[in-house]
Chain A
Amino acid sequence: AQSVDQPDAHVTLYEGASLELRCSYSYSAAPYLFWYVQYPGQSLQFLLKYITGDAVVKGTKGFEAEFRKSNSSFNLKKSPAHWSDSAKYFCALEGGGNMGYKLTFGTGTSLLVDP
């Protein structure tokens, strides 16, 4: 079984601050990890992925994430945050091998960046 936990339902910070959204996962083998963003009233957009290799991966819109196998985490980071980053962010996991391209999403973190 695979699962994703995003422990913070809501995060609020001021523009210019550094943001870090937490994500932890449970999977018995090597995971493929993703972050997606959903702006208000819109659909989901791909931000970045970790498949293998360097633990820090960079994505679109200035975001990056760090894969930490030691504590099964894949936190999303950006500095500085901008008011336009206000959105809901979803962490997701795909099990490799025979899991058949199935993605498991976390419940999401709603980010509000005050201007």
Chain B
Amino acid sequence: DMKVTQMPRYLIKRMGENVLLECGQDMSHETMYWYRQDPGLGLQLIYISYDVDSNSEGDIPKGYRVSRKKREHFSLILDSAKTNQTSVYFCASRLGYEQYFGPGTRLTVL
């Protein structure tokens, strides 16, 4: 069974704090993604990773950075979080043409 995990599931941070969101997959998929989902909007692509240390900006990369040191793990980092980064963040991995999504992390920045 294809499985993508995300930690933590819920997170509350204060403005200016650093945030680390983690994503894991046990399928050895090469390509992984970070999205955010906001009410009334679809999913917006933040970053895409094609493999270890091979990352590319998506449509809204400003304020975010990523790290992928192992194929199974893809991290999203917010340095000095802002209130407008309050959102639900989804990680996904890709096999063929299909993306497999994690359960999401609900981040609130106060």
Stretch touching chain A among B12-20, B69-77, B78-86, B92-100: B92-100
- CB-CB < 8 A to A36: which residues of B? 99
Q: Are A43 and B103 in contact (CB under 8 A)?
A: yes
Across the A-B interface, the 7 shortest Cβ-Cβ residue pairs: A105-B42, A43-B101, A105-B43, A44-B101, A107-B42, A46-B98, A43-B103
Q: Are A102 and B101 in contact (CB under 8 A)?
A: no
Q: Are B45 and A108 in contact (CB under 8 A)?
A: no
Nearest-neighbour CB distance to chain B for A109, whole angstroms, equals 10
Task: Write the residues of chain B forming the contact surface with A, with a CB cutoff of 8 angstroms.
Answer: 31, 33, 40-45, 48, 50, 56, 58-59, 90, 92, 94, 97-104
Task: Write the residues of chain A forming the contact surface with B, with a CB cutoff of 8 angstroms.
Answer: 4, 9, 32, 34, 36, 42-46, 49, 51, 90, 92, 94, 100-108
| CB-based nearest B residue for A105 | B42
- CB-CB < 8 A to A49: which residues of B? 97-98
CA–CA, A115 and B99, complex, Å: 31
Q: Using a Cβ cutoff of 8 Å, how many contacts connect chains A and B?
A: 52
Knowing A46-B98, A51-B97, say if A106 contacts B42 (CB, 8 Å). Answer: yes
Task: Name the one of B41, B45, B56, B104 contacting A103, with C-beta atoms under 8 angstroms.
Answer: B45
CA–CA, A102 and B42, complex, Å: 14
Q: Are A43 and B104 in contact (CB under 8 A)?
A: yes
CA–CA, A43 and B56, complex, Å: 23
Task: Name the one of A101, A104, A105 contacting B94, with C-beta atoms under 8 angstroms.
Answer: A101
Q: Are B45 and A43 in contact (CB under 8 A)?
A: no
- CB-CB < 8 A to B103: which residues of A? 42-43
Q: Are B45 and A102 in contact (CB under 8 A)?
A: yes
